[in-house]
Structure 1
Amino acid sequence: SKLYIANRNGNGLVSSLKKITEESIYLFPGDYCVVTEDADNLKRSYLVKNSDAVLQLSSLPSLPDDKGTAVLIHVNGDVMDEVAYKDDWHFGLIDNDEGVALERIDPDAASQNKSNWHSAATSVGYGTPTYQNSQYKKRDDLHATVDVAPRIFSPDNDGRDDVATISYQVEEAGYVANVIIFDASGRPVRHLVKNDLLSRKGQWNWDGLGEKQAKLPVGTYIIFTEIFNLQGEKKSFKQTIVLARQLSEP
């Protein structure tokens, strides 16, 4: 991993960097993980739906309950995300916020916007480690569709299902798209589309090859499409497809 969690000291400088994990992990859109000092206590206190998504560190930066600054930083020094929180961001009618998670509502909205944070719901036990926040609500300003056909294709040049077609439609011009193909292990094998400026509708074709025209093995692949504009509206799609080939004649 090349990501660190940190805080800011009294001088406002990034401090107490802790590497999130020594292992390489893949997180796709819609995946979640939690970083903690005490995985056992976490499981006793909350419902943990995916134990494999719990990353235990020997220690974390100091992040007091009343106020603090949490920083997600890349190994090259780029700050990926940051929030300076306060305990008065909790729901005003909660008498005791001890053990109550402060949840981000919209992951695409501003991190430092107080109104984009809320106390976790009572119905989930005040926290949702390893799964979607109970207060999650995403802006759906971007209306777009992406379809993939066929879902099983065989790029063997026999004239039948030789390419996979990725069709899109957006409500207006001005959107940009990226399309990346991942294998079943989460490794990127082809960056099919890079910052394409879109029309109202269109399509791309994938010939089943990887980068530099490398022949890929048969199996399941993931087509990840991201559509966005300069106003910060964004929508992503993750669809599976099977690359197959006919068995050779004996």
Structure 2
Amino acid sequence: MNPLNLTLQLLAVSMLCSLGMPAYAQVTPLPANPTPPAEKGEKEEAEEKPEVAKVGKPAPNFALKDIKGKAHQLSSYAGNYVVIEWFNPGCPYCRGIYDNGVVEDIHTKIRQVDPDFVYLAINSTANQPKEFVITQSDEFLQKQEMPGIPVLLDYDGKVGRLYDARTTPHMYVINPEGVLIYAGAITDDRNFDKGDKATNHVINAVRSSVSGTEVAPNTVRPWGCSVKYQGGSKGGRKPRGRAPGRKP
């Protein structure tokens, strides 16, 4: 090797060492159990989903606007019985409970024990344009001469799914303490042919509650058209036999 080149190399190594720099690349060993980088949103806690309504438990609160634009919050009706009907005037079974006086009978008889009871109709129908749903609901109740029933619009279906509403009609009764005491069919007369012999489960639930006796049955399989939710219907239980007709 050329003596001059050797001298220059030795001087270079000497200078690097004097500066404290390594003369070769150091390999840092990886830890035995490396921690993977956190994914986006991993530290964010997911919002807890509200519990679905259950008989015997406090009724889940909700807030909806009716077809007139008025806001309703379930908790604001505490202290009174609340009856909720899942409603769709495009359904023949829903029309049937009005044509045959079933809803009118509920109003008349429950007012005898709670003059200030609240009746709410909730429309979760989303297979038609929202404006059509609003107009159809309003015109139907005007024709039935029951325009005082507020129709709450649940177009996104959140409240319907919260209550597991499956049919129109599907009924819910909430006592003054805010507890759900009945859920299910409105009557045992799915073909509207029993007349005065029909059992109205909604009226019986309120009467039993007022008298301090057990509500029995407190759950009855609902019948009617399936609720037309966004993304598909849910759980229709159609009556057997002929289609419902208007009471003569």
Alignment TM-score > 0.5, same fold: no
TM-score scaled by structure 1?
0.27
Please identify which structure carries the higher helix content.
2
Please identify which structure carries the higher strand content.
1
TM-score scaled by structure 2?
0.27
